[in-house]
Amino acid sequence: MVRLESAPSRRPLRLAFVVICWLLLAGQPQQAGSDSDHSLPPLPKEQFSECITACGEQMKRCVAGIPELLNNYYGNRRKVQRILFDCCVDKEHDQTSPATTSFARCAKLNCRALVWG
């Protein structure tokens, strides 16, 4: 059995989560009548960046338990995939769900992000 040493930095893992979320968001079609208000102007770049960073922090807290599950990825892969889905895109089109539901809801409601189309 090969024992994997934990990396000195979890930055590659965080980057992987962001990439996975981005791919999940990019593949989602926008539904007619969605709750994005297109009449609002986009946020200035600096404010948008701060907002996305805050959504990323929310997601980081959501996926905090995943690193332990990765020690036995093949045994836990369904659990890992479910957590990633829930933290990344859960209820992105549900107009009644709050911004704290997932990264997608946070980016859509708080940052006025339009990342699918």
Measured CA distances, 77 to 46, 68, 73, 114 (Å): 36, 12, 5, 29
* Position 14 in a domain: no
Domain contains 30 = no
Q: Please list, in sequence order, all residues whose beta carbon lies within 8 angstroms of the beta carbon of residue 101, skipping any fewer than 6 positions away.
A: 90, 91, 94
**Cα–Cα distance measured from residue 86 to residue 97, given in angstroms and rounded to the nearest whole number:** 13
Q: Which of 25-29, 32-36, 93-97, 111-115 is the least confident region?
A: 32-36
User: What value does the mean pLDDT of the chain take?
Assistant: 79
Number of structural domains, the chain? 1
Identify whether 77 is part of a domain. yes
Residue 67 maps to a domain: yes
Length of the chain: 117
Instruction: Indicate whether 31 pLDDT > 50.
Output: no
With respect to residue 21, please indicate whether it lies within any of the assigned structural domains. no
Domain around 99: 42-117
Establish if 90 belongs to a structural domain: yes
Task: Tell me the per-residue pLDDT of 50-100, one tens digit each, with 9 for 90 and over.
Answer: 999 999 999 999 999 899 999 998 999 999 999 999 999 888 888 899 999
Asked if residues 79 and 69 have their Cβ atoms less than 8 Å apart, the reply is yes
Residue 5 lies in a domain: no
pLDDT band with cut points at 50, 70 and 90 for residue 36: low
The answer to whether residue 29 scores a pLDDT higher than 70 is no
pLDDT at 46: 94
pLDDT single digits (tens) 101-110: 999 999 989 9
Q: Is residue 96 part of a domain?
A: yes
